[in-house]
């Protein structure tokens, strides 16, 4: 079947670079002679039939913007078989034969369900969490890591002046990648992630010794999936009162702001790839990047596997932060 009309939506937690991905889908689609539609507010907008035609100008001046011009939503109704059938019917009624979903693992499940109902779908990894299998990186992750590193640079200044320790809680849901990559890039002494067991006695003792040996500050970065910053600080104080931990929860700041060039380029490549793959007859596939090569994987496979944690990087960060 030849694809003529495609639609694009952004879903789940937004991420920096989603706009660049939408722009790439729209402009590539038009370049290849397709009609392109935008769906407002993710699967919720699909169920509300909030679908509109997009042209070259509708994605002008957005490559540099965080957030998503298509907006995002979490939609309970779409979790039900009835909701999914309704979504597929709306797309069919409008003659839309291809759908690009930009979102995280939850959104991938939704795309997977629509494919089983006969809609050609492509899923793009749009999440800061970097928790999607079969792609080395997700759109927004690099920007998020940059934001965390920038915050830690600032914290270092004031922590050094007062010889304190800084506990920085970062996002990532069940994935420790933001903590890992930001921790390595900022020279954090301790990186606490859900993927690796940790011993608070050992962490407190090492921090105490480091101060005794002349370190002027200590940075502990904790992924939200492993616990809260407040909890870590409490446990440290119970073991060593002199550590003087100060907690910073970076929160949704990690999800905003202008996307880095790496995220914009990743989004542009993946958006264009998704369109070309739909045209070539592929469906029910996740687009990703592995060792800088664009790859296509069955969504089934992606949603049924857990992203592997990079233990080598984790060990490197530990070796370099002594
Ligand atoms: P993310 O895509 O960032 O992981 P969510 O997990 O909130 O974010 O998922 C986004 C949306 O995808 C949900 O609100 C829901 O509409 C849809 N979704 C999530 N899981 C499923 C599922 N198992 N089946 C169908 N749709 C789903
Ligand atoms: O999935 C992206 C993410 O920012 C996670 O890192 C975080 O746990 C969650 O979304 C926060 O969700 P909400 O935007 O609903 O507060
Ligand atoms: Mg998710």
Taking residues 243-259, report their average pLDDT. 97
Length of the chain: 322
User: What number does the ligand 1 atom closest to the CA of 13 have?
Assistant: 3
Domain boundaries, the chain: 5-140+259-303, 143-255
Cα(116)–Cα(108) distance, integer angstroms: 13
Best residue among 12, 105, 173 to mutate for probing ligand 2, ranked by most atoms within 8 Å of CB? 173
* Residue owning the nearest CA to atom 2 of ligand 2: 13
Cross-strand pairs, 167: 220, 247
Q: Rounded to 5 degrees, what are φ and ψ at 8?
A: -135, 140
E-assigned strands of 139-211?
Answer: 165-170, 190-192
**Bridge partners (DSSP) listed for residue 53:** 37
pLDDT for position 289:
98
Q: Which of 50, 55, 89, 129 is catalytic?
A: 129
98 lines ligand 1 (CB under 6 A): no
**Cβ 15 under 6 angstroms from ligand 2:** no
| Nearest partner of 16 among 273, 300, 309, 262, judged by Cα | 262
pLDDT of 298 > 90? The answer is: yes
Q: 252 CB contacts (<8 Å, ≥6 apart)?
A: none
Alpha carbons within 13 A on the beta-carbon side of 316: 11
**Residue of the CA atom closest to atom 7 of ligand 1:** 12
Residue 1 has pLDDT above 80, yes or no: no
Mean pLDDT of 75-104: 98
% of the chain with per-residue pLDDT over 90: 95
Taking the CA of 11 as reference, the closest ligand is: 1
Establish whether residue 178 lines the binding site of ligand 2, counting it when its CB lies within 6 angstroms of any ligand atom.
Answer: no
The CATH superfamily label for domain 143-255 reads: Phosphofructokinase domain (3.40.50.460)
- Check if 5-140+259-303 and 143-255 are the same fold: yes
Residue 215 has pLDDT above 90, yes or no: no
**Whose alpha carbon is nearest atom 9 of ligand 1?**
106
129 catalytic per annotation: yes
CATH fold label, 5-140+259-303: Rossmann fold (3.40.50)
Please give the distance, rounded to the nearest whole angstrom, from the Cα atom of residue 298 to the centre of ligand 1. 17
- pLDDT single digits (tens) 176-198: 999 999 999 999 999 999 999 99
What is the structure's pLDDT at 258?
98
Predicted confidence (pLDDT) per residue in 25-71, tens digit:
999 999 999 999 999 999 999 999 999 999 999 999 999 999 999 99
Q: Residue range 90-111: average pLDDT?
A: 97
Q: Does residue 147's CB lie within 6 angstroms of at least one atom of ligand 2?
A: no
Gap from CA of 173 to ligand 2 centroid (Å)? 7
Task: Looking at the CA of 77, name the nearest ligand.
Answer: 1
Ligand 1 and 113: CB distance under 6 A: yes
Question: Is the distance from the beta carbon of residue 127 to the nearest atom of ligand 1 less than 6 Å?
Answer: yes
Residues 6+ positions from 141 with CB-CB distance below 8 Å: 15, 127, 128, 129, 130, 177, 178, 181, 263
Beta-strand relationship, 98-103 and 120-125: parallel
Q: Cα–Cα–Cα angle for 123, 129, 135, nearest 5°?
A: 45
d(CA 112, CA 297): 12
């Amino acid at each position: 079947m030849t694809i003529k009309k495609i639609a694009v939506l952004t879903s789940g937690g937004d991420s920096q670079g989603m706009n660049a991905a939408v722009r790439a889908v729209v402009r590539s689609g038009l370049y290849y002679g397709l009609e392109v539609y935008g769906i407002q507010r993710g699967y919720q907008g699909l169920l509300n039939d909030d679908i509109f035609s997009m042209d070259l100008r509708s994605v002008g001046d957005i490559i540099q913007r965080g957030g998503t011009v298509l907006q995002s939503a979490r939609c309970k109704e779409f979790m039900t078989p009835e909701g999914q059938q309704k979504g597929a019917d709306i797309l069919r009624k409008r003659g839309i034969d291809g759908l690009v979903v930009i979102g995280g693992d939850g959104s991938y499940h939704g795309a997977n369900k629509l494919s089983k109902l006969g809609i050609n779908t492509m899923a793009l990894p749009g999440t800061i969490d970097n928790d999607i299998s079969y792609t080395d990186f997700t759109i927004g992750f690099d920007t998020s890591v940059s934001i965390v590193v920038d915050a830690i640079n600032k914290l270092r200044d004031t922590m050094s002046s007062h010889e304190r320790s800084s506990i920085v809680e970062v996002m990532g849901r069940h994935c420790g990648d933001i903590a890992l990559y930001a921790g390595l890039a900022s020279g954090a002494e301790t990186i606490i992630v859900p993927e690796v067991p940790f011993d608070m006695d050992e962490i407190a003792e090492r921090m105490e010794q480091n101060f005794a040996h002349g370190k002027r500050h200590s940075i502990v970065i904790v992924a939200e999936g492993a616990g809260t910053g407040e909890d870590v600080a409490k446990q440290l104080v119970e073991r060593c009162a002199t550590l003087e931990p100060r907690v910073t929860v970076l929160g949704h700041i990690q999800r905003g702001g202008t996307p880095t060039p790496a995220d914009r380029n990743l989004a542009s490549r993946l958006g264009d790839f998704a369109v070309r793959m739909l045209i070539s007859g592929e469906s029910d596939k996740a687009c990703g990047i592995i060792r800088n090569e664009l790859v296509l994987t069955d969504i089934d496979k992606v949603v049924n596997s857990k992203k592997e944690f990079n233990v080598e990087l984790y060990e490197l960060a530990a070796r370099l932060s002594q």
